[in-house]
Homo-oligomer: A and B are copies of this chain.
C-alpha cells in the first residue's frame, strides 16, 4: 500500500488520482455533518460548488433539502447550515440533501478522477481505515483545508487514519501528516485557524462533536459518476 496526503487545496491539481482511492476530509465540519445526516436517516447527499446550483436542483425537485454555509454561516433560505448537531439524534425517513460548503464540497469535486471517493472525519476514522485496509492499492488523502489553505485538523485526521494502516510507501505529505498526528495533541486542534474561527462564532458544541474520534461506524462513499453520495451498506 502507498499513500500520499495533499497538504493544501492549491496542490490538488498537481497530483494524479488515477487508480487511487481518494479520501476527502473536512473535520470542521462538512464530512462530519454529512456522516451524521446520513446516519440520522437521510438517503443521499449531492455536493455542489455554487449556491445557484443548489437552488436549481431544489426547483427541479422541491423535495430535496438544501444544506450549506459560507464563512461558516448558514446560507439564507437553506433548510440546514453545516452543523452536525442539526442532524444528530434525529430520525429521518429518507430524503436527499444537496450541500454546498466552502471547503468540503470543493475537495470532493477535486477528487474526481480517482478510482473511488471516500469521505472521512475523526468520528469515522476507524471505519474508513477498516475499509482502506481491505483495499490494497494507492491512497491519496485530500484534507479540504480552509479557504484554500492548509488545515491542521484535516491533516491531523489524515495522520490518524494513516496510523491505523500498514503503508509501505509514504509520500512527503503523508509523512508530515503522520508527524502532526503523533506530536500534536487532539485538544490543540480547537486552536487551529479554523478552530479559532468557529470558537469566535460560539460553535463550541460543534467543535467538541467533530473532535470525537471513532464515534461512528458509518462509511460514506461518493459516486463521481452520479454525483450522489451515501452510506456504504
Contact = CB atoms under 8 A, between A and B. Distances in A.
Interface of A: 7-15, 147-152, 155, 171-173, 175-176, 179-180, 182-184, 192-193
A14 B10 CA distance: 9
Contacts of A149: 11, 14-15, 173
Q: How many copies does the complex hold?
A: 2
Nearest to A182: B183
Given A8-B150, A150-B176, 10 more contacts: A7-B7, A8-B11, A10-B11, A10-B12, A11-B149, A14-B147, A15-B149, A152-B172, A152-B175, A155-B176
A184 B192 contact: no
The 3 closest A-B pairs by CB, nearest first: A10-B10, A8-B8, A152-B172
A43 to B, nearest CB: 35
Contacts of A150: 7-8, 11, 172-173, 176
A148 B180 contact: no
11 contacts: A10-B10, A11-B150, A150-B173, A151-B172, A155-B176, A172-B192, A175-B184, A176-B176, A179-B179, A179-B180, A183-B183
Contact of A176 (B15, B152, B171): B152
A171 to B, nearest CB: 7
